Amino acid sequence: MMISLALLLFPLFHATSQEEIVQIVNNVKGGLWKAKVYNKTEFDVEAAMMHMDSTILSEEPVFSSPLQSTPEVFDARERWPEFQVPIQMQAACNGCWAFATTASMTYRLGVAGCYKGLISPQDLLSCDKTNKACQGGNPLRAMLFAANNGIASDDCVPFVSEFGRVPLCPSKCKNGSAIERYKYKTPFQVGVSDVQTLLMESGPLYARFNVYADFLNYEDGIYEHVTGRQLGSHAVLLLGWGVEKGVDYWLLQNSYSEEWGEKGYFRMRRGSNQCGMENAFYGGIVDCNAL
């Protein structure tokens, strides 16, 4: 009786350590990616575990029929270097949804011909009461908020919620000048069959996916889930795609600082709805006139 009880309870209390995860991932024969143990000054894995969205996405295969004319490789950073969004650090704020929304809006305003500099995740975190600030958010609600209320520039409202504290919605820029807020006209959700064309035409999009513990130890390569429990979901910026040694991937920008992954970026296996990422992507048509 005592033995069976112990066996039953063990999985509940045993969280796989970073060392165990790294060892398992790096020993996969023909593995597509490498893992590393991060120390706390580089990237705080335990803190990141606690700052996940609770939404879990379906990982059922999704139908996809990419157009014949899609190029083999696309990278928004090379296509639009003038609108490049720096790698940011959400730290102890579960604000990935705000970073992904504003990074995609930054590029999309630029591609539409009305670049406004970096759009502010802080303004969105502080002002959008339809979402939960540093406790998580939903892409369509965030983009609808951007359509109705607009979002300030990052120069005007810089990020200050790295410890999870969220100030009230500001009525002035940090330097005291009046706030201008920039808008989306139409927020939308797009399927995997159309996302590549849309990205090439109008700029990067919001992507979300289920996070398993091994993702946090990603160092480089093409990520696919190997081991570790499901922690929740996370939002990032879709920048493009490519193929390496015959394996298709998505190119993505994270908000875990430049110390994490491929200098803050990562690649995810493409074509099999890995971690539910291919269910949907999100974006908006910008409104250059409504400034």
Ligand X SMILES: *[C@@H]1O[C@H](CO)[C@@H](O)[C@H](O)[C@H]1NC(C)=O
**What six digits make up the tokens of 224?**
């696919």
Nearer to ligand X, 122 or 153 (CB): 153
User: In the range 27-86, which residues lie near ligand X by CB under 6 A?
Assistant: 39, 41-42
Options 51, 131, 156, 234, the catalytic residue = 234
Instruction: Pick one of 125, 147, 151, 173: the residue that binds ligand X (CB under 6 A).
Output: 173
At its nearest, how many Å lie between ligand X and the CB of residue 176? 7
Question: How far does the chain reach from its first CA to its final CA, in angstroms?
Answer: 69
The 3-state secondary structure of the chain, one letter per residue:
CHHHHHHHHHHHHCCCCHHHHHHHHHCCCCCCEEECCCCCCCCCHHHHHHCCECCCCCCCCCCCCCCCCCCCCEEHHHHCHHHCCCCCECCCCECHHHHHHHHHHHHHHHHCCCCCCCECHHHHHHHCCCCCCCECCCHHHHHHHHHHCCECECCCCCCCCCCCCCCCCCCECCCCCECCCEEEEEEEEECHHHHHHHHHHHCCEEEEEEEEHHHHCEEEEEECCCCCCEEEEEEEEEEEEEEECCEEEEEEECCECCCCCECCEEEEECCCCHHHHHHCEEEEEEECCCC
Q: Give the shortest CB-271-to-ligand X separation in angstroms.
A: 34
Interface pick for ligand X out of 177, 201, 246, 289 (rule CB under 6 A): 177
Task: Report the residue number, 46 or 155, with the smaller CB distance to ligand X.
Answer: 155
Question: Using CB under 6 A as the criterion, what x/- string covers residues 195-224 for binding ligand X?
Answer: ------------------------------
Closer CB to ligand X, residue 39 or residue 70? Answer: 39
Q: Which stretch binds ligand X (CB under 6 A): 9-17, 171-179, 212-220, 276-284?
A: 171-179
Q: Which residue has the closest beta carbon to ligand X?
A: 155
Q: Which of 153, 196, 253, 273 binds ligand X (CB under 6 A)?
A: 153
User: Closest approach of Cβ 42 to ligand X, in Å?
Assistant: 5
* Residue 289 near ligand X by CB under 6 A: no
In sequence order, what are the residues at sequence separation of 6 or more whose Cβ sits closer than 8 angstroms to the Cβ of residue 3?
none
Cα 79 to Cα 286: distance, rounded to the nearest angstrom = 19
CA distance 52 to 95: 9
Establish whether 138 is a catalytic residue: no
Of 4, 27, 68, 175, which one interacts with ligand X (CB under 6 A)? Answer: 175
Active-site residue 127, yes or no? Answer: no
Task: Count the residues of the shown chain that bind ligand X, applying the rule CB under 6 A.
Answer: 9
Is 234 among the catalytic positions? yes
The answer to whether residue 100 forms part of the interface with ligand X (CB under 6 A) is no
Q: Does the protein bind ligand X through residue 156 (CB under 6 A)? A: yes
Catalytic residue among 51, 93, 94, 96: 96
CB of 120 vs ligand X, minimal distance in Å = 10
CB 92 within 8 A of CB 164: yes
List the catalytic residue out of 94, 254, 273, 279. 254
User: Footprint of ligand X on this chain (CB under 6 A)?
Assistant: 39, 41-42, 153, 155-156, 173, 175, 177
Catalytic positions: 96, 234, 254
